[in-house]
Structure 1
């Protein structure tokens, strides 16, 4: 059982963001603690990407406060977020296909001794990191272009851990992956939780969300529309919060199923 601390590592308090006349976020509150996975869900245009970019320093907030370990902080550029301990793995992964796994893991953070790249140290630490995360790839010297989609995703996540962050943001990490590759990535998300990291998981896939998240935060039209404990909620309740309607195909199907069960038991 992972201990989840009382004080959030990261908290957004009443955060708002505008782009000209467009109000992208309005009075949004979110808390992420060490050792928990919080899924951020919402329809297209709900504000998920904007929220992630405010946390990662791409879009400074217009109103509200970002807190880090209980104290207000200024996050006005990506470097600020990285310095605090926020690592973001975007959907495009930004891996260099022609470079091997070691070079990708240390891109921009290369280890050197007396001005010379320390390839041996980087390879050793890369292997250790992948081993501790139970990431299996044929070799750390294989070009990233030769890896499967799932392997590329876990390498991108591993790279985010090089700087020893406390919060990891994963943007649609299982999009376009097959069943087996998705399972590989979700296993890694659970291992991030076991390492006492706070994880923000952005996903459209409710099965993935319910499989690994502890809590689900719903955004609708740039506002909070509920935070649900996965242990105490249902797929239908989350869908209703996302769509803003209790009556939709998912809830109707559940109602029909419940009615059939009731009739069968009568």
Structure 2
């Protein structure tokens, strides 16, 4: 048995009105992958911030290689050999890949930065991670989410690390990228480096994990369980306090009927359609129809054009060809305001940086796109704004039910509900969902699935993007499969399975 590298005992942390950690114990051995499970709000993020030196515990002890230590700052943790890769990557978008990798750890001699040496070392790290194609000189903001994830891992490896904490590292990666990540993790552990791996994807835990600890309501519900032999339902029961069926809402009956019968029954006109819509270098000409009451899924690998299509429909990107029509009326391209006024709402992949004002209240975030409704003569009716926002969040079972609470204090699943509540208040007719359950635990996922299905049943046209093929197939009524920016297949979800979709996204050819 490998020696214990890290021991955390009785860790307690309290914030105003909330005990985030209540006597948590955790031990990590050299060369193992120790997985950390728990619902959003269970205390995982707080625990890893204590380990990273970002939070100081109120009580408890941390031992590193058997010796008690105080991780007063992130720099102190890094000097010991503890690196943390957060789910929301802490990269500086306007700096180059090389500058981000060595930020705070610059390659220098006598106070002078050796840019050429830094670039050479950055290229070597990227090659080690299986991505020599990433240009060390390109700005990080120009990279897709998967590329930024690789840069963040490279930054951690630029230090002499003994333990790496990875918080949802696969959330933005396609299957090939996940396989590459696991190869990297296996190489690290073979060298004696320990990895604390946080993921909501239980199938990943079985593939990569050695032992698993489970947090629930700020306490350790289980410690050091075997990752590969423990049954899934036992993990779920420990996280939630009950057995949860990972099931999708039932589709409306008409969706399960044969396609020709549905078409003969007077199909609804599309709310939104595109005519040869395209963005050069991102996605090829696309003819798309979104109908009221239908959930359309986009399946494809990262970089296949999924997110770019959603952002173009929402006005965040300007198409290079084609047009968008809402109720038959052309939409002004590349204009977010015009899209919102036409009834289009977007819940983007990076909700914290692209959708939410993290320091503002739930009310302010929900009403953000509807402020004119609460204004009279230049004055904002705060009471009416708050009441309407609360009405929408209560309908989504937001927890805690506090419209004045800062959004940054909510779990990932509840932050996503705030984004959805914004478009409910706006009464949008087309809802674009980009990775809606990214970083959301199994219990909250089921709640979000029910919300999305309920929205569709109320007449909203939904376009869903997800990296998880079972999620697309389980939630969508109709699926478009993308490969390299082109639609290669379209079919009702009930006619597809995961293997067929993966075959299409990897090797498919366009079909009518």
TM range (shorter): 0.7 to 0.9
Give the gaps of 5 or more residues in structure 1.
252-266
Within 1, Cα distance between the matches of 2:98 and 2:244?
Answer: 48
Q: Give 1:229 deviation, angstroms.
A: 0.8
Could you say if the C-alpha distance between residues 136 and 240 of structure 1 is closer, same or farther in structure 2, counting changes exceeding 3 Å? farther
Q: Give 1:231 deviation, angstroms.
A: 2.8
Q: Give 1:159 deviation, angstroms.
A: 0.2
Within 2, Cα distance between the matches of 1:144 and 1:79?
Answer: 23
- After superposition, residues 47-196 of structure 1 pair within 5 angstroms as 47-196=43-192
Aligned residues: 246
Within 1, Cα distance between the matches of 2:161 and 2:2?
Answer: 16
Could you say if the C-alpha distance between residues 67 and 151 of structure 1 is closer, same or farther in structure 2, counting changes exceeding 3 Å? same
Mapped pair 1:231 → 2:241: no
Note if contact 1:186-1:208 (Cα within 8 Å) is conserved in structure 2: no
Name the SS for the 1:249 alignment partner: coil
Match for residue 241 of structure 1 among 233, 238, 243: 238
Note if contact 2:36-2:212 (Cα within 8 Å) is conserved in structure 1: yes
Note if contact 2:134-2:147 (Cα within 8 Å) is conserved in structure 1: no
146-155 vs 135-144, which deviates more?
Answer: 135-144
Could you say if the C-alpha distance between residues 196 and 24 of structure 1 is closer, same or farther in structure 2, counting changes exceeding 3 Å? same
- Which has the greater radius of gyration? 2
TM-score normalised over the length of structure 2: 0.46
Note if contact 1:239-1:250 (Cα within 8 Å) is conserved in structure 2: no
Note if contact 1:160-1:168 (Cα within 8 Å) is conserved in structure 2: yes
TM-score normalised over the length of structure 1: 0.85
Mapped pair 1:13 → 2:9: yes
Within 1, Cα distance between the matches of 2:190 and 2:137?
Answer: 28
Note if contact 2:209-2:228 (Cα within 8 Å) is conserved in structure 1: no
Q: Give 1:236 deviation, angstroms.
A: 1.8
Within 2, Cα distance between the matches of 1:226 and 1:100?
Answer: 42
Could you say if the C-alpha distance between residues 49 and 98 of structure 1 is closer, same or farther in structure 2, counting changes exceeding 3 Å? same
Within 1, Cα distance between the matches of 2:150 and 2:209?
Answer: 18
Within 1, Cα distance between the matches of 2:28 and 2:131?
Answer: 25
Q: Which residue of 2 aligns with 1:259?
A: none
Q: Relative contact order: is structure 1 or structure 2 higher (C-alpha 8 Å, sep ≥ 6)?
A: 1
Within 2, Cα distance between the matches of 1:109 and 1:102?
Answer: 11
Consecutive aligned runs of 4 or more in structure 1 exceeding 6 Å deviation:
none
Match for residue 213 of structure 2 among 217, 223, 226: 217
Note if contact 2:38-2:239 (Cα within 8 Å) is conserved in structure 1: yes
Note if contact 1:46-1:221 (Cα within 8 Å) is conserved in structure 2: yes
Note if contact 1:149-1:181 (Cα within 8 Å) is conserved in structure 2: no
Q: Give 1:193 deviation, angstroms.
A: 1.7
RMSD value over aligned CA atoms?
2.0
Q: Give 1:110 deviation, angstroms.
A: 1.4
170-179 vs 221-230, which deviates more?
Answer: 170-179
Q: Which residue of 2 aligns with 1:200?
A: 196
Name the SS for the 1:155 alignment partner: helix
Note if contact 2:5-2:66 (Cα within 8 Å) is conserved in structure 1: yes
Note if contact 2:130-2:180 (Cα within 8 Å) is conserved in structure 1: no
Note if contact 2:82-2:162 (Cα within 8 Å) is conserved in structure 1: yes
Mapped pair 1:35 → 2:31: yes
Q: Give 1:175 deviation, angstroms.
A: 1.7
Note if contact 1:127-1:140 (Cα within 8 Å) is conserved in structure 2: yes
Note if contact 2:101-2:158 (Cα within 8 Å) is conserved in structure 1: yes
Within 1, Cα distance between the matches of 2:202 and 2:93?
Answer: 30
Within 2, Cα distance between the matches of 1:124 and 1:208?
Answer: 33
Q: Give 1:250 deviation, angstroms.
A: 4.9
Deviations 1:115-156 (A, max 9, x none): 332122112222222333433334322332333322211210
9-18 vs 70-79, which deviates more?
Answer: 70-79
